Structure 1
Amino acid sequence: MKRPLTLIAAAALLIGSHDAALAAACQFEAQGEGRVTAITDARSLRLDDGREVRLVGIEPTAATKQALTTLLLGRDVMLHGSDDTPDRYGRQSAFVFIRDSETPAQAVLLAQGDAIVSAEIADKDCAAALMAAEAEARRQKKGNWADLLAIKNAESPDDILAGIGRFMVVEGKVLSVRQAGAMTYLNFSRNWTRGFAVTISRRILPAFEGAGIVLKSLENRRIRVRGWVDGNAGPRIDVRLRGQIELLGASEPTGVRP
């Protein structure tokens, strides 16, 4: 059943005029259109022509599937993206726009606090739009961000270790930066075997250098990192994309900075 346009307008207003303009940056090449007939999981849907679509750029929270159902089920949508090649599950990865809207569903979910930025988007303007939408939800403690433990403290490795295999957001002060072979370690504890650490492969160093970031300069800096938690020799997040790390100000409140 179609939902009234007032619902779509209200959803767009959650982004705000500034962030809505940024969200328009995610309008990549058109990849087709259709009507959403089913929400198959927390970030995937099925169109009336049988296509399976994965919403690119976000990771789900406990509320994402219901929010996605409310927003998109039964709606006519347009797909935009940089590559329409199906993934190994046969899904087309795309930004999903409700017809006549310039705001992707991903940005709406982020602004509601019903999703987390995955940092997989390489386009700088689009990535900035998604991060801005999430940051606004954090500022207002909406959805997922109402939980004080939504952002983990790097000084509490047991809390992070409990999330092995999950996508998490962690904040803390980098105590040391160490090189071991082709891997750089950002250590948040003096106990390297138990404490939380971030690993960065040599092959992605050019992405940081291109952004003017020397990894050694991160010592004694507060950062926010997002990614999948691994539990080998203490909790770890392997950083494969520049966007997984955000620099924080020394006196900046936890969980706020876009």
Structure 2
Amino acid sequence: MFRGFVAFFCFLLSCIGTVLATPCDERSVLDESLPTIMMEEVLANPLRFTASDGEFYYLADLTMAEQDLLLADDFFEEREVRVKALIEQTDRWGRRPAILVDPELGDLSVRLVKAGMVIVRPQLRAFNCLKFLIKLESMAREKNVGLWVIKNVINDYKSISYEQIGLYGIVEAKLISVGQTRSKTYLNFGERWTEDLTGIIQRGTLADFSEFGHDLSVMKGKRVRLRGVMQLNQGPLIELKHPAQLELLD
């Protein structure tokens, strides 16, 4: 009887392991009380979808290069999933950021990124989860799957056009210098800030970059990757509100 109990206990552990298998699954334990939605409804508009509880949600920490680049994946056809909000507060449009939880695979953010259906937009997830998702995104890009086949959303900043202002994107560039004032840190990618790209880090979030593993002092002269909303304030800039928006490539 004892052996049978041990075998059953090991079986339970193995079942849990199939779900809690990535750094992003710490919050994705399936709760039968969570509202549900069909995946096709989410994919129709990931920025605002309505679950079975009548509430509005959007996919947390994920976005698309363009709305029409969200590709189909046979895995998601006619699949019902649970919707787990990451915070209770709603934004100005009445939405809450949420992850999608599948009984078999846990947090489906991993599946979406691996399939090249979305790009990572760091915001709420734990540092280790975002590092993992960005790694999966790089693998999808190397394999040319999903949106990485249709359009390379990574740009050299010199090729950025005015039409990209206000859009979320990914930029690669060589960091020329790092400047510091009392309130901000400036990542300069050229000599003329009115023409060249600038990355801006507010003083209040600077400690997060160190905790994440970034050493800005050694990045000078190296190629980095930034992701964020392209803004224009005399010159092009990206505000880095989360350390996962910055990657060291060299």
Q: TM-score range by the shorter chain?
A: 0.7 to 0.9
Tell whether the 8 Å contact from 1:224 to 1:247 is kept in structure 2 after alignment: yes
Deviations 1:37-65 (A, max 9, x none): 84462333222332222111101233455
Q: 1:136 aligns with which of 139, 157, 160?
A: 139
For residues 117 and 41 of structure 2, what CA distance do their matches in structure 1 show? 19
| Poorly superposed stretches of 4+, deviation over 6 Å | none
TM-score, structure 2 normalization: 0.78
Q: 2:121 maps to what in 1? A: 118
User: In the alignment, which residue of structure 2 is the partner of 1:208?
Assistant: 209
1:53 equivalent in structure 2: 57
Which of these two proteins has the greater Rg computed from alpha carbons?
Answer: 2
Partner of residue 152, structure 1? 155
Is the Cα–Cα contact under 8 Å of residues 54 and 91 in structure 1 kept in the other structure? Answer: yes
Residue 224 of structure 2 corresponds to residue 223 of structure 1:
yes
Say whether the 8 Å CA contact 2:51–2:83 is kept in structure 1.
no
Does residue 172 of the first structure (1) align with residue 170 of the second (2)? no
In the TM superposition, residue 173 of structure 1 has moved relative to its aligned partner by 1.0
Give 1:219's aligned amino acid. Answer: K
Number of aligned residue pairs: give it. Answer: 228
- In structure 2, relative to structure 1, the CA distance for the partners of 1:64 and 1:33 (3 Å cut) is farther
Q: Distance in 1 between matches of 2:187 and 2:109?
A: 30
Q: What do residues 58-110 of structure 1 show as CA deviations (whole Å, max 9, x unaligned)? A: 01233455538x76575321233442333332223211023x22243322221
Question: Which residues of structure 1 form unaligned runs of 5+?
Answer: 1-16, 250-258
Q: Which stretches in structure 2 are left out of the alignment for 5+ residues?
A: 1-17
Supply the AA of the counterpart residue of 2:148. W
1:67 is aligned, of 43, 67, 72, to: 72
Which amino acid letter does the alignment assign opposite residue 135 of structure 1? S
Give the distance between the partners of 1:58 and 1:137, measured in 2 at CA.
15
Q: Structure 1 residues 107 and 213 mapped into 2: Cα distance closer, same or farther (>3 Å)?
A: closer
Distance 2:96 2:188 in 1: 37
Quote the offset at 1:138 in angstroms: 0.9
Query: Deviation per CA, 1:216-247, whole angstroms, max 9, x where unpaired?
Result: 32211211110000011221100111111011
Within 1, Cα distance between the matches of 2:161 and 2:175?
16
The residue type equivalent to 1:79 in the other structure is V
Percent same amino acid among aligned pairs? Answer: 25
Specify the code of the residue in structure 1 equivalent to 2:144.
K
Look up the equivalent residue of 1:109 and give its one-letter code.
Answer: L
**Counterparts of 1:214 and 1:29, CA distance in 2:** 38
Deviation string 1:161-210 (CA, Å, 9 cap, x unpaired) is: 44100001011110111124412211111222101111111111111222
Alpha-carbon distance between aligned partners in 2 of 1:29 and 1:35, rounded to the nearest angstrom:
14
Q: Tell me what 2:9 maps to.
A: none
Give, as a single letter, the amino acid of the residue that structure 1 aligns with 2:119. I
Looking at structure 2, the residues matched to 210 and 47 of structure 1 have their Cα atoms a distance apart, in angstroms, of 36
TM-score norm. by structure 1 comes to 0.76
* Other-structure match for 1:35: 37
Is the contact made by 2:56 and 2:94 (CA closer than 8 Å) also made in structure 1?
A: yes
